[in-house]
Structure 1
Amino acid sequence: MAENDASTAGESLDAQEIYEQTAALAAHLARAGIRFLPNAQESEVEAWGAHFVAEADEMPEVSVAEVPVAAAPAAVAPPAAVASPARPVRRVESVPAFTSIEGPYPGESLSVAERKARLDDLALQVAGCTQCEVLSNCRTQTVFGEGSSTPRFVFFGEAPGAEEDRSGRPFADQAGQLLTKMIQACKFQREDAYLFNSIKCRPPGSRTPEPGEFQNCRTFYEQQLALLRPEYIVCLGAISAQELLKTKLSVGRLRGKLHTYLESKVVVTYHPSYLLRNPAAKKAAWDDLQMMMKDAGLM
């Protein structure tokens, strides 16, 4: 590599090569979130520096090898599609990182019989809940959760859909069938895990739950987790991950690493319904589950 650099360092580039390399650099900067190339004036440089710091947390990591070598931009005008000096600087606030939620689960770890009894009592409370007037009036029934009362793994989703609302079971639709296959690929069965949602009633039209609805249901899923005390919590989709971890980061920013919720390790991956719409994301979801399996000693 050093020899190649040395042999080309003294060679001059013709106008076409300069244009192509400058265009490549401009396209790379655009992919990184940079919308224009500023003039090299003191005031512009100062504004650009402030803009760059504000967006630094949102930009993907790029290796030096990916950045093409370009001649000075002054040697040739940048492509018209990229250069727009009159366009105002886009100001955004960087997304704050969240702190892992650490500490012991409240209360004592109960026996299997006591856990089942407490979960049954909690399910009755959920069935009679009317805190969310809209949800309690439009639901067919609540969807509490199902599975082992001593699970090593729990799968945590957003809210029931139409089929779950009819059956009273979580993940009972086509996405649930895919989730069952994903669980079986992890070398255990659906009944060995515990499946539930952050919201216990189907929102009208299966819309995204509102903040007040999450707040009203939070005590229920927190009690479920305190009773179950799983080793791993698999958050399916952005909504459940953001609710559990108290963050606004996307699945793409959260996946690929283990997070913490009290005594449990948290894995964030794509929701099965998203995978049905975007089959290409299945590989990434499988990578997330393999990460969990390796950590759990199943691989």
Structure 2
Amino acid sequence: MRADLPENANALRALLDWYVQSGVDLALDEAPHDRYADSARAVAASLTEPAESMAMLQTLPQPTAAERPRRAAAPIAAPDEAIRAAEQEASSARDLDELAARLADFPHAPFRDMAQHFLFGAGAPGARLIAFDAAPGVTEEASGEAFSGLSAKLLDNMLAAIGFDRSSATLAYVSPWRPPGDRALSPREAAIFAPFARRRVELARPDVLLIFGEAPARIMLTTNEPVGKLRGKAFEARCGAHVARAFVFSSLEAMLKSAALKPAAWRDLRKAAEALESASNGAQL
């Protein structure tokens, strides 16, 4: 046995960890493969299983959480197919609990099989104010608690400045799973999560949205404009049958790194507070 084998094994494990953090989730060889065709054949084969076999499987005792193996990777779907499937799943949800369950089980969701925790959000469901961030970060992934990192503390301080906290506001993610390496959501990934995020707003019916960063702004305002051109303005976010007043901010991470972004954020925060007050006065009338 080679004396340096343990050291090599540790290096290989470190390399695999680095691949996972970088988003590599499939091993390739030198021969080309049609992955869409492979997935279609797998789905077709599953649909042709005898009914007797399926009935037998349903009668078997279910494993405990500790005994349950890691779920298999979902069949690969073309981007347009994944988006259409997301739209169908999201529109079928009748309330926020069902929406969360449908999203957690959605097989084509990016990062679903790579992250450790499904983090739908925090705060009060159905609140008048929803703050949208892109995705959980390292602290949330390690703790399993949504909105628990430094950026969440900044958000808590911002909410407190206008008289809100987690008992009166909803904190939501576009992606309930942490992207590998904390990278930004790609346009395709944001498009897959978009139906669930927009349906969340439609079901919760908030008066005001606070939108942090590029991906949430793209989704809620259906725009490709950069955040810099969206700050300082009030928008109408139309999500299904509901319309909410929306305000765009730099990402929480960017504001943590650059104090120069905070004065503009404070001005927009005051505008959001005025919109909430106007909505309350309108409801009382």
Instruction: Name the TM-score class by shorter chain.
Output: 0.5 to 0.7
* Structure 1: runs of 5 or more not aligned: 1-105, 108-114
What does 1:53-202 correspond to in 2, within 5 Å?
118-132=95-109, 135-202=111-178
Task: Report the 3-state secondary structure (helix = DSSP H, G, I; strand = E; otherwise coil) of the residue aligned with 2:126.
Answer: coil
Q: CA RMSD in A?
A: 2.3
Task: Name 2:79's counterpart in structure 1.
Answer: none
Query: How far 1:126 sits from its partner (Å)?
Result: 2.2
2:259 and 2:134 map into 1 onto residues whose CA distance is: 20
| Equivalent pair of 2:134/2:175 in contact (CA under 8 Å) | yes
In 2 relative to 1, CA 255–175 (structure 1 residues): closer, same or farther, beyond 3 Å? same
| Equivalent pair of 1:144/1:168 in contact (CA under 8 Å) | no
1:243 to 205, 219, 225: 219
In 2 relative to 1, CA 167–221 (structure 1 residues): closer, same or farther, beyond 3 Å? farther
1:168 and 1:122 map into 2 onto residues whose CA distance is: 20
Q: In structure 1, what residue type is equivalent to 2:181?
A: G
1:121 and 1:150 map into 2 onto residues whose CA distance is: 14
2:138 and 2:153 map into 1 onto residues whose CA distance is: 15
Task: Report the 3-state secondary structure (helix = DSSP H, G, I; strand = E; otherwise coil) of the residue aligned with 1:156.
Answer: strand
Q: Which structure is larger by alpha-carbon Rg, 1 or 2?
A: 1
1:204 and 1:150 map into 2 onto residues whose CA distance is: 30
Query: How far 1:146 sits from its partner (Å)?
Result: 2.2
* Structure 2: runs of 5 or more not aligned: 1-89, 279-285
Please list the CA deviations of residues 128-186 of structure 1 after superposition, one character each: whole Å capped at 9, or x if unmatched: 23214x61221101111222223111001111212222344432100101110110011
Query: How far 1:197 sits from its partner (Å)?
Result: 1.4
Task: Name 2:49's counterpart in structure 1.
Answer: none
Task: Name 1:74's counterpart in structure 2.
Answer: none
1:165 and 1:127 map into 2 onto residues whose CA distance is: 16
Q: In structure 2, what residue type is equivalent to 1:187?
A: G
1:246 and 1:197 map into 2 onto residues whose CA distance is: 17
1:250 and 1:215 map into 2 onto residues whose CA distance is: 16
| Equivalent pair of 1:158/1:236 in contact (CA under 8 Å) | yes
Task: Name 2:190's counterpart in structure 1.
Answer: 214
- Determine whether 1:224 maps to 2:200: yes
Please list the CA deviations of residues 41-79 of structure 1 after superposition, one character each: whole Å capped at 9, or x if unmatched: xxxxxxxxxxxxxxxxxxxxxxxxxxxxxxxxxxxxxxx
Please list the CA deviations of residues 77-96 of structure 1 after superposition, one character each: whole Å capped at 9, or x if unmatched: xxxxxxxxxxxxxxxxxxxx
- Determine whether 1:277 maps to 2:227: no
| Equivalent pair of 1:126/1:142 in contact (CA under 8 Å) | no
1:264 and 1:225 map into 2 onto residues whose CA distance is: 8
TM-score relative to the length of structure 1: 0.57
Task: Report the 3-state secondary structure (helix = DSSP H, G, I; strand = E; otherwise coil) of the residue aligned with 1:264.
Answer: strand
Query: How far 1:204 sits from its partner (Å)?
Result: 0.8
In 2 relative to 1, CA 295–222 (structure 1 residues): closer, same or farther, beyond 3 Å? closer
| Equivalent pair of 1:164/1:171 in contact (CA under 8 Å) | yes
Task: Report the 3-state secondary structure (helix = DSSP H, G, I; strand = E; otherwise coil) of the residue aligned with 2:113.
Answer: helix
